Amino acid sequence: MALSKVAPSSLFALLAAAALAACGPAAAPTLSSSSGAISASAVDPRNAGGNKQLTVMTRNLYLGAELGPALAAQSVPELVTAATTIWTTVEANDRGYGSDDVLARFDGIADEIAATSPDLVALQEVTLWQKAPAGSADFAVRFDYLEVLLDKLAERGLSYAPAVVLPLTSLAVPIATGETVAITDRDVILTRADEPGLHVSDPRSDVYGPDSCAADPACPELVHFDVLGQPLAILRGWTSVEVEYRGERLRFVNTHLEAYDPTVRVAQATELAEASSAGTSRVILAGDLNSLPGTEGAAALADAGFTDVWPVVNPDDAGFTSPYPEVLSIPAIDLDERIDYVLFRGPVVPRSAEVVGEASEDRVVVSEDVALWPSDHAGVVAEVELLDARFATLK
């Protein structure tokens, strides 16, 4: 989400029946228990001194609409009206090529992945939208972002698999038709399943703050709202996997920091930096930090020893990734923020980085008069070299 946006899911405070969903399995307090030891294969002559090229991507998929009007609602009718408008916008942004199709815009994201072949993909706002008939709690899936993206990748002959999925805020509210819509926000890491030199293990995830944070409005690691008398915490977290890539080991981390409150962003980034301080010495961190370069969450991670790939390889390019219009069929954009990042710590050398999904030709043509941006963010793809730690000082 762009810096001007309200935190995802905040409008869907349950009026009666729905509540915050569980946040997935409990996670260890640190990202990794690996010793970070160099494997024996790193010195195999065929492995060119242990130096390897790894490609990673970060992509916020956009949950489909701006949520601020519903958060500002002062009555139940206002909330229902706002939620109805938002649902209409989601259906427009997530339309397919016909009545039996959905999420045509994900063809753009699948094409980006096909063109850049990332080994690891950090995804945010991997939303699950469901809807139930009036008077019923029998929900049916309307838009499953993860399932549709995986299907579109498979259509292109690409083999990617989710290594870790973190469910976050899950809420439901009635709309003007009497139906109930429900949203579940998720963060996901995808890995290439057809890369023989890539092996992932030890998937981990956690929601920021202690276990009591969601229920404690004073907890500084999450944003808390009171929506028409209903308490609401917006859950944010991180996901990670241990990676062995052609003999080199690292931890790959995905996060989505708070959009609405800069103080909470900093608290989350500080917690993430502390969690990543143990274990392997080599970490690649990708995600939507909702922070401009050198500020807030990005600054907290820099203070913890992380380096931003983008300015290393593109010192004269701002690399803007946001904002986009709420309605993705609007063609005009004026990007002026960089809030999506690939960071690293340890024996890593950045080789290249590019922004994807920002050019007019990246829009997905849905019909004769409609073309959609793939998301309300551009993505970032970076290639880095993994150095054998013994040779890192010689580079």
Taking only the tens place, the pLDDT of each residue in 145-182 is 999 999 999 999 999 999 999 999 988 888 999 999 99
Dihedral, CA of residue 265, residue 269, residue 275 and residue 281, to nearest 10: 160
- Mean predicted confidence (pLDDT) in 4-32: 39
Mean pLDDT, range 4-17, rounded to an integer: 37
CB 277 within 8 A of CB 229: no
Cis peptide before 374 (omega within 30 of 0): no
Predicted confidence at residue 171, as pLDDT, reads 85
**161 contacts: CB under 8 Å, gap ≥ 6:** 150, 190, 191, 193
User: Which residue from 210, 258, 314 is spatially nearest to 1, judged by alpha carbons?
Assistant: 258
Instruction: Give the model confidence (pLDDT) of 97-148 as tens digits.
Output: 999 999 999 999 999 999 999 999 999 999 999 999 999 999 999 999 999 9
Please report, to the nearest 10 degrees, the dihedral formed by the alpha carbons of residues 2, 122, 355, 146 taken in order.
-80
Which of 116, 257, 247 has the alpha carbon at shortest distance from 190?
Answer: 116
**pLDDT, average across residues 382-387:** 97
Nearest to 9 by CA among 245, 211, 170: 170
pLDDT single digits (tens) 262-289: 999 999 999 999 998 777 889 999 999 9
| Rounded distance between C-alpha atoms, residue 194 and residue 379, angstroms | 22
Task: Give the closest residue to 252 by CA, choosing from 288, 206, 283, 276.
Answer: 283
Pairwise CA distance, residues 128 & 131, whole Å: 10
Of residues 361 and 39, the one with the higher pLDDT is 361
Where does the pLDDT of residue 390 fall: very low under 50, low under 70, confident under 90, or very high at 90 and above?
Answer: low
Map residue 223 onto helix, strand or coil. Answer: strand
Tell me the whole-structure pTM to 2 decimals.
0.89
Which tens digit of pLDDT belongs to each residue from 191-232?
Answer: 999 999 999 999 999 999 999 999 999 999 999 988 888 888
What is the per-residue pLDDT for 69? 78
Distance of alpha carbon 122 from alpha carbon 352, whole angstroms: 17
Q: How far apart are CA 210 and CA 7, in angstroms?
A: 20
* Beta-bridge partners for 56: 120, 382
Largest CA-CA distance found in the chain, in angstroms, rounded: 69
Q: How confident is the model at residue 43 (pLDDT cuts 50, 70, 90)?
A: very low
The predicted pLDDT at position 67 comes to 77
For the chain, give the mean pLDDT. Answer: 88
Cα dihedral sign, 215-221-227-229: positive
pLDDT at residue 277, as a whole number: 79
Cβ neighbours of residue 192 closer than 8 Å, sequence gap 6 or more: 117, 118, 119, 120, 159, 160, 198
For the stretch 51-73, pLDDT in tens is 599 999 999 999 999 877 777 78
Tokens linked to 56: 């990673």
User: Cβ contacts of residue 162 below 8 Å, gap of 6+?
Assistant: 146, 150, 188, 189, 190
Q: What is the predicted pLDDT for the residue at 393?
A: 53
Tell me: the pLDDT tens digits for 334-357? Answer: 999 999 999 999 999 999 999 999
Identify which of 149, 188, 181, 147 has the alpha carbon closest to the alpha carbon of residue 165: 188
Residue labelled with tokens 């998301």: 375
Confidence tier at 5 by pLDDT (50, 70, 90):
very low
7-16 as b/e: b if 16+ CB within 10 A:
bbbbbbbbbe
Please give the structure tokens belonging to residue 169. 């805020």
Q: Which two tokens stand for residue 153?
A: 């990748």
Q: pLDDT value at position 243?
A: 97
